[in-house]
A = this chain, B = another copy of it.
Amino acid sequence: MSLGDGFLHPDRLLPADPGLRRIARDLYDGTRDLPIVSPHGHTDPAWFASDAPFTDAASLLVTPDHYLLRMLHSRGVSYDALGVPRLDGAPVASPREAWRCFARHYGLFTGTPSALWLDHAMGAVLGCPERLSETNADALFDHIGGVLAGPGLRPRALMDRFGVDVIATTDGALDSLEHHAALAGQGWGARVRPTYRPDAVTDPEAPGFAAGLDRLGALTGCDTADWAGMIEAHRHRRAAFRALGATATDHGTPSPLTADLPLAECQRLLNGARAGSLTPAEAELFRAQMLTEMAGLSAEDGMVMQLHAGSRRNTDRGMFAVRGANMGADIPHRADWVGGLNALLNRHGHAPGLRLIVFTLDESAYARELAPMAGYWPCLMLGPPWWFHDSAEGIRRYLDQVVETAGFANLAGFNDDTRALLSIPARHDVWRRGVAGFLARLVAEHRLDRTDAAHLAADLSGDAARRAYAL
C-alpha cells in the first residue's frame, strides 16, 4: 500500500493539536504500508477471474456507487443523467455525459467520506494531478480512460498495488461460484474468497423465495420443503463455499431479532413461507429462526457468522420499481440488539466453535448494548463502523463508545464492505488514520503507553481482522 497521497495532504484526518498529531503520525506511519486484509465486501469475483480492464471513469467510479448516486439524487440530479441503468432498458446518459454531470455536482461531496475516497482513488491510484471539477472533467475522463487501458489497472494488478493480501466477496447461496472456482484453479483461491450470504433463501419476503428454495433443494439433493432437509441443504452449500476458501457467512436483516422455536413451529413457518402466506410478523420470525439455525451451523462447521442488521431496504418504492435495489434508499432504523440476540445467544452463545461478528447502523447501541454484550459473550465480536458510519467522525464515535467497555480484543478490526474497488485503499487508510488519532489521544492522556499503542495500531490494521475471520 505504498500508494502515496496523490494530491491529498499527507497529514489529512490526523488530529489538529500539534502534540497529538506528532504521536498520531508516528502511529500511522507504522501502519500505512501494512498489507490490506479485506474480509468483507462486495467486489465482483468476475473482475478477478477474468482480469479484464475497466472501461471508463464513470462506469468504474460513479454509476455503481450508491453513496454517490444518493447524494446527487438528493439535490435533484436524475439517475438517467448519471447513466444508471433502468429495468425497462430505456436509454440513459453515456459514460462521458454521466461523468460531466458528476463533475458539475462534485461540490456536493465536500466534507463527506465519498470525496475523501474519490480524491484518493483519482490522485493516488489513477494519477490525476488535481481534484475533479467541471473544468477538468473531460480531460480527466480521457486521462482515466487511458490509464485503465494499460496493464497496471487490471483487477489483479490492483490487488498487488493496493497490497491486498486477501479479499472476500459476498455470494448468494445459489451462486454457481464459477468465478471462485476459476480463481482457485489459477492459484488465486486463497487470495479471493467467497462468503456465504443466503438471504435470498432465508428471507420469505425476498423476491423469488419459494423458487430459490426449490433450487437450493435441487443443488444439494435435499428436501427443502422439510425443515431439517432445508437446514441440511445449507450444510451442503456451506461446505461447497468452504471448499473454495470461504471462512465466513454473512446475513443481512432489517432487525437483529433471533428466535429459538420448536421444530413443529419451524415447519409451520416453512410451509407458510413456501406458500407465500406468512404475515410480516411471521416472516420476521422465520428470519429470526434462520439466524439461530445459521449460528448452530457455524458452531458446527466453524464458519464465522456476520450479521448486518438494521437497514430498512428500498424505502423509495418508486425508485425500486424503476431501477431495483441498492439505489441509495436504504435507511437505517433503531435496533434492539440485547432483546434481538437473546434467543441465539442463549442457544449457542457458549459454543466453542461459534464466532458472531455484528454490525449496526444504530450508533446508540454501541455503548448501551453492543459493547457490553461483546464484553461478556465469548462468541461475540464487534464489526467496524458500517456504511454511513465508515467515515472520519463515524470511526471516532465508534472507538469512543466501544473500546472502554468491549476492550480492543473484542473488535474485529476493519473491513471495507465496498463494491467500489478503487476505494479500498482509501477506506483502509481512513480507518488507520482514525485509529492512530484515537490511540494518540489515549497516549497523550497517559492512558496507554506508546509501545502498546503501536502494537494496537498495527493489529487493528490487519491482524485483528485475520484472527476474527480465521484467515
Q: A-side interface residues toward B, CB under 8 Å?
A: 8-9, 11-20, 70-71, 73-76, 107-113, 116, 312, 315-318, 328-329, 331-334, 336, 338-339, 342, 345-346, 349-350, 361-364, 367-369, 371-378, 380, 388-389, 391-394, 397, 400-401, 403-410, 441-442, 444-448, 452, 456
Q: A18 CA to B20 CA in the complex, in Å?
A: 10
Q: A331 CA to B345 CA in the complex, in Å?
A: 13
Q: Which of B110, B312, B346, B441 meets A407, CB within 8 Å?
A: B110
Q: Which of B332, B371, B378, B452 meets A110, CB within 8 Å?
A: B452
Q: Is the CB of A409 within 8 A of B346?
A: no
Known: A331-B338, A392-B445. 7 other contacts (CB 8 A): A18-B19, A73-B378, A74-B375, A108-B407, A112-B403, A315-B346, A364-B364
Contacts of A13 in B (CB 8 A): 445-447
Q: Is the CB of B404 within 8 A of A113?
A: yes
| 27 cross-chain CB contacts under 8 A | A11-B446, A13-B445, A13-B446, A16-B19, A16-B444, A18-B19, A70-B376, A74-B406, A76-B378, A108-B407, A108-B409, A110-B452, A110-B456, A111-B404, A111-B442, A111-B456, A113-B404, A312-B338, A315-B346, A317-B346, A331-B372, A333-B336, A333-B369, A334-B364, A367-B397, A372-B388, A392-B445
Q: Which residue of B lies closest to A404 (CB)?
A: B391
Q: Is the CB of A315 within 8 A of B74?
A: no
Contacts of A15 in B (CB 8 A): 445
Q: Which residue of B lies closest to A366 (CB)?
A: B363
A43 to chain B, nearest CB (A): 23
